[in-house]
Structures are given as C-alpha cells and as structure tokens.
C-alpha cells in the first residue's frame, strides 16, 4: 500500500492548481478495496458462526497440551536404534529420490508454461492446469492415490513426493524462463539454431543456478513432507510415529518427533551450506 499512486482525477490543464483535489485512490479503487475488506469480514463472521468449536475444549487446551507433553517426557532413546533409525533413513531416501524424479516430470511442463518459449496459448494453459493440479493435491492425497496403485510402502511415498513437487518446480522454472534476458536466445535464433539447441545452449545455462536453488528449496520441503507420508502407510518415519501414537506410547512419540525435528534442522544446515558453496 505504500506504493499506491497519488491520483488526481480532475484533468490537470482545466483546473487551476489551487483548486485541484488530490486523492490517494480513485473511486473505483476505493470501491474495490471496500469490497475486499467487506468480503474478508463477511467470511470471518460466517466462519465463526458456523464452525463447530466447543468452548470447553478451547479453554482446556493448554492443560491438555501440558498433560500430553508431560507424558512424552523423558524421551525414550532406546527406541531410536530399534526402529526409528531405519525409518528415518527411508524418509530421506523418499525425499531425495522424489525430488530427483520430479526434475524429469517438471521440466517439460516448466518449458511449456513459459509464454516466451512456448508461443501457444493452449499449451501454456494446459501446462498451467497440470501445475496447479499437482500443487493443489496434497502430498498425503497423492500418497493415497499411489497406495491404491502400488500398494503400501515407500514406492507410493516417493511418487507422491515427486508428483507433488511437479507443480512447485515447474512453476518456478517457468517463471525463471519468463524473466530471462533475451540476448543470448536471440543470438542463437539469428544463427539459425534448432529449438533443442536454443533450449540447451540459450535457456539452460541461464536457468541452471536458479534451477539448483529451486531443487534445494524443494528438497528441504520434501524432507518435511516425507516425514508424514507414513501416516497413510506410504513409508518412512511417519509409520513409526503412527504406530507409537496408536499404542499411546508417548515417550516413543517424543523420540520420533525429536528425530524428525533433528533431521529437519540438519537438512536446513546442509541446504544453507550447499547454497553458500555452489551458488
């Protein structure tokens, strides 16, 4: 809002300077802003009225949380070696393989969605719909779909991570391509390069640093995401969490949670280090 323009909607030449009315927004802008605010208020009021929140539960929440955390303490470290460790490694494999797989799946759509590379409105729209669909189906839901196809286990999880990542990676690749300087590409076109050479020698070298950064970012997200896939049976550390939760073994739950927390922190450190060295 700080950059909203100062608009005078009286023709400047017609009115003497002293009589000119300065306003921050035109009437239409004001009206649109009012509509947006009104809609927000309406949505909130509507939600508060209809959602079923039992007040007793809300008042009780801090106490219940305290009770739950109390039961989790102390963390049961003996449990880690016996079955958290293997599951944690599986989670990392799922996240990494899923990210690698998403490269092959996402790049074609990234190329198709960029309107300066693919000059076909229909193809742009098609790629955009695929990318949005991939992002709007959550990784857990993707996992459910692949469970129905491949059965329980890590294969469903890996594909879920890969398919969920298509939307993110493809969108970022498309945006990067759209913002590229045209010089090198025009030079290639002037030299009569084929479409493939154009992409390989013109777009790819410009895309590469951004692409690495996108993949690192997505890998970081995927490590977090793959930790929950086990809740629906798609492999990884989530399965250990699910078992412990169903058995109400709170110290074991705490072990799994602390392990997930640790792996997330380690991932973040690794990503920061790679980013520093390579980019």
Partner 1 sequence: MNIATGTAIVPRQSSAFSASLTSRLVALAIIAYALYASTQLGFSWPRFVAGLEHGARFLSRMFPPDLSKGDILWGGIMETLQIAVLASLAGILLSLPIGLLGARNLMPGWVSWTARGFVSACRALHPVIVAILFVKAVGFGALAGILALVVASIGFIGKLFSEAIEEISPKQVEAIRATGASFMNVVIFGVLPQVMSRFVGFSTYQLDSNLRNSTMVGIVGAGGVGGVLFSAFQRFDYGFVFTILFTIISIIIASELLVNFVKKVFHV
What residues between 26 and 65 interact with partner 1 by CB under 8 A?
29, 32-33, 36, 43-44, 46-48, 50-54, 57-58, 60-61, 64-65
Binding partner 1 (rule: CB under 8 A), the pick from 10, 15, 187, 265 is: 265
Angle at which helix 154-178 crosses helix 85-113, to 10 degrees, equals 40
Q: Say if residue 245 is exposed, middle or buried (CB neighbours under 10 Å; 0-12, 13-18, 19+).
A: middle
DSSP string, 146-203: HHHHH-SSHHHHHHHHHHHHHHHHHHHHHHHHHTS-SHHHHHHHHTT--HHHIIIIII
The answer to whether the CB of 212 falls within 8 A of the CB of 256 is: no
Task: Kindly identify the residues of this chain, within the stretch 121-150, that bind partner 1 according to CB under 8 A.
Answer: 129, 132-133, 135-138, 140-141, 144-145, 148-150
| CB nearer to partner 1: pick between 68 and 279 | 68
CA distances from 85 to 79, 195, 229, 273 (A): 9, 48, 16, 24
CB of 40 to partner 1, least distance (A): 8
241 belongs to the binding site for partner 1 (CB under 8 A): yes
Task: Kindly identify the residues of this chain, within the stretch 242-261, that bind partner 1 according to CB under 8 A.
Answer: 245, 257, 260-261
| CB nearer to partner 1: pick between 43 and 279 | 43
d(CA 12, CA 238): 66
CB of 149 to partner 1, least distance (A): 4
The answer to whether the CB of 142 falls within 8 A of the CB of 157 is: no
| CB nearer to partner 1: pick between 97 and 111 | 97
- Per CB under 8 A, the segment of 9-17, 114-122, 175-183, 198-206 that binds partner 1 is 198-206
Task: Kindly identify the residues of this chain, within the stretch 163-192, that bind partner 1 according to CB under 8 A.
Answer: none
Classify residue 53 by its DSSP letter.
-
Binding partner 1 (rule: CB under 8 A), the pick from 100, 123, 270, 271 is: 100
d(CA 154, CA 147): 9
Binding partner 1 (rule: CB under 8 A), the pick from 80, 83, 85, 96 is: 96
């Amino acid at each position: 809002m700080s950059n909203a323009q100062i608009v005078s909607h009286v023709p400047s030449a017609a009115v003497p300077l002293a009589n000119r009315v300065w306003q921050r927004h035109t009437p239409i802008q004001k009206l649109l802003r009012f509509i947006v605010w009104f809609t927000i208020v309406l949505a909130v009021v509507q939600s508060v009225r209809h959602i079923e929140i039992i007040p007793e539960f809300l008042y009780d929440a801090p106490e219940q949380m305290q009770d739950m955390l109390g039961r989790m303490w102390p963390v049961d470290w003996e449990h880690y070696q016996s079955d958290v460790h293997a599951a944690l490694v599986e989670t990392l494999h799922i996240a990494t393989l899923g990210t690698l797989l998403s490269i092959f799946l996402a790049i074609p759509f990234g190329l198709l969605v960029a309107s300066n590379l693919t000059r076909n409105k229909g193809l742009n729209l098609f790629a955009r719909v695929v990318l949005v669909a991939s992002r709007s189906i959550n990784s857990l839901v993707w996992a459910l779909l692949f469970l129905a196809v491949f059965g329980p286990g890590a294969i469903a999880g890996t594909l879920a991570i890969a398919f969920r990542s298509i939307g993110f990676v493809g969108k970022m690749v498309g945006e990067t391509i759209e913002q590229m300087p045209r010089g090198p590409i025009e030079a290639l076109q002037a030299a009569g390069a084929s479409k493939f050479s154009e992409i390989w020698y013109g777009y790819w070298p410009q895309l590469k640093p951004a692409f690495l950064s996108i993949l690192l970012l997505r890998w970081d997200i995927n490590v977090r995401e793959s930790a929950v896939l086990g809740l629906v049976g798609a492999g990884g550390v989530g399965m250990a969490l699910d078992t412990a939760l169903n058995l109400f073994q709170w110290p074991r739950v705490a072990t799994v949670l602390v392990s997930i927390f640790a792996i997330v922190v380690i991932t973040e450190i690794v990503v920061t280090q790679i980013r520093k060295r390579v980019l």
